[in-house]
Amino acid sequence: MSGEEFPMRVIHTLAELRAALADQPRPVFVPTMGNLHAGHLSLVREARRHGGPVVVSIFVNRLQFLPHEDFDQYPRTLERDCALLEPEGCDIVFAPSERELYPQPQSYKVAPPPALADLLEGHFRPGFFTGVCTVVMKLFQCVQPSVAVFGQKDYQQLQVIQGMVEQFAMPIRVVGAPTVRAEDGLALSSRNGYLGAQEREEAIALSTALRELAHGARDVTQSLAELEAAADQALRSRGWAPDYLTLRRRSDLLPPTDAQRVAGEPLVALGAARLGATRLIDNLEC
Ligand SMILES: Nc1ncnc2c1ncn2[C@@H]1O[C@H](COP(=O)(O)OP(=O)(O)OP(=O)(O)O)[C@@H](O)[C@H]1O
Ligand SMILES: CC(C)(CO)[C@@H](O)C(=O)[O-]
Ligand code: BAL
């Protein structure tokens, strides 16, 4: 199977997926929630580099949304998504219905360790990573990939999935792909579509605040708390409501000591903030 020689197939059931993948090399897998943009397409291009049929899933996973979040509003744009995927050499789009993926209420769940999953995104979206791990585990069982590609834009999600795959000894290589940005630096995100024109102009302030944080990472004349407070203030003054803007160690997403800041410990500036009704996340390694 190869995207160039065979037409892309759009598959909605597990039985059809298993039949399509029988006698094929194990696929390379890109899980998504659809409403695709150039960031997703870069993951498909990365997937193609690994050989084997490329499977992209499109599924808006109710389990990872809190009741007040945007599950109902989340854009479902399957036809447009398929039109974008076909020229990228995607072989199979797996777009199951909720009933297909969750024929019964999903009472068995995959709970990642609180030390990682209750921080940052998990603190502001309780249960989020259990929802993510549960659906990703299930999608992995459906697709049985040799490689799975995830975006570094969802930095903590990538670490949580890497930990899950390692601890369950799943025979899958998890590959992280760099964040694709708009010309002004805004990380591409499906939720950017919620921004009004004025908000879209302001949206750059999130990556600017992260750059400022990253810039101060090694300068311990400013404490971590002072650095983070300044970034928070800068973003608030532009009309944002930050959930967090923080400098963390890449290894475990905990705060670095001043000694580690000076000694060159690999760090990452991470942020999540709301602009009007839209909540965006971004990060920058430093
Ligand atoms: N700008 C980007 N560059 C690279 N990968 C991305 C980018 N945005 C999302 N991804 C990755 O695409 C995969 C599917 O993500 P998803 O469908 O949730 O898109 P999203 O744009 O992150 O949506 P949302 O706005 O809902 O967070 C994830 O692995 C995610 O990290
Ligand atoms: C990995 C994922 C597809 C699971 O629903 C989702 O969290 C996403 O799109 O990043
Ligand atoms: N890309 C992360 C999926 C979510 O926010 O639900």
> What CATH number is associated with residue 208?
3.30.1300.10
The verdict on whether 40 is a catalytic residue reads yes
Same domain, 170 and 201: no
User: Six-digit token pair at 141?
Assistant: 């069982």
* CATH number for the domain that contains residue 74: 3.40.50.620
Same domain, 197 and 77: no
Residue 34 lies in a domain: yes
Residue 50 lies in a domain: yes
Same domain, 240 and 138: no
Q: Which of 177, 207, 241 is the last residue of a domain?
A: 177
Q: Which of 121, 152, 177 is the last residue of a domain?
A: 177
Residue 3 has a pLDDT of: 44
Q: Which of 144, 177, 210 is the last residue of a domain?
A: 177
Same domain, 166 and 37: yes
User: Six-digit token pair at 5?
Assistant: 């020689």
Residue 286 lies in a domain: no
Is 33 annotated in a binding site? The answer is yes
Residue 67 lies in a domain: yes
The residue whose CB lies within 8 Å of the most ligand 1 atoms, and thus the one to mutate among 43, 210, 274, is 43
**Number of domains forming the structure of the chain:** 2
- Which of ligand 2's atoms lies nearest the C-alpha of 139? 4
Residue 5 has a pLDDT of: 59
In the block, tokens 């909605």 appear at 12
Same domain, 153 and 13: yes
**Euclidean distance between CA atoms 56 and 79, whole angstroms:** 14
Of residues 40, 50, 123, 215, which has the active-site annotation?
A: 40
- Angle made by CA atoms 1, 98, 187, in degrees to the nearest 5: 70
CA-wise closest residue to 191 among 286, 60, 88: 60
Same domain, 27 and 69: yes
- Which of ligand 3's atoms lies nearest the C-alpha of 128? 6
Range of the domain at 202: 190-281
Which residues on neighbouring strands pair with residue 11, listed in sequence order? 94
Residue 1 has a pLDDT of: 60
Same domain, 46 and 165: yes
Residue 185 lies in a domain: no
Which residues on neighbouring strands pair with residue 93, listed in sequence order? 10, 56
Is 187 annotated in a binding site? The answer is no
Which residue type occupies 269?
A: A
Nearest CA to ligand 2 atom 10: 32
Residue 200 lies in a domain: yes
Same domain, 26 and 141: yes
Task: Centre a 10 Å sphere on the Cβ of residue 186 and count the other Cβ atoms it contains.
Answer: 20
Same domain, 110 and 227: no
Is 197 annotated in a binding site? The answer is no
Separation of CA 128 and ligand 3 centre (Å): 9
Residue 4 lies in a domain: no
Residue 272 CA from chain centroid, whole number: 13
Is the sign of the CA dihedral 119, 132, 180, 70 positive or negative? negative
Residue 241 lies in a domain: yes
Same domain, 36 and 138: yes
Same domain, 91 and 171: yes
Output helix, strand, coil percentages for the chain, rounded to the nearest 5. Answer: 40, 20, 40
**Euclidean distance between CA atoms 106 and 131, whole angstroms:** 10
* Local confidence pLDDT in tens for the 286 residues of the chain: 644 556 999 999 999 999 999 999 999 999 999 999 999 999 999 999 999 999 999 999 999 999 999 999 999 999 999 999 999 999 999 999 999 999 999 999 999 999 999 999 999 999 999 999 999 999 999 999 999 999 999 999 999 999 999 999 999 999 999 999 999 999 999 999 999 999 999 999 999 999 999 999 999 999 999 999 999 999 999 999 999 999 999 999 999 999 999 999 999 999 999 999 999 999 999 9
Is the sign of the CA dihedral 160, 162, 163, 165 positive or negative? positive
- Which of ligand 3's atoms lies nearest the C-alpha of 151? 1
Which residue type occupies 273?
A: A
Is 35 annotated in a binding site? The answer is yes
pTM for the model stands at 0.96
The residue whose CB lies within 8 Å of the most ligand 3 atoms, and thus the one to mutate among 64, 66, 136, 194, is 64
Same domain, 240 and 261: yes
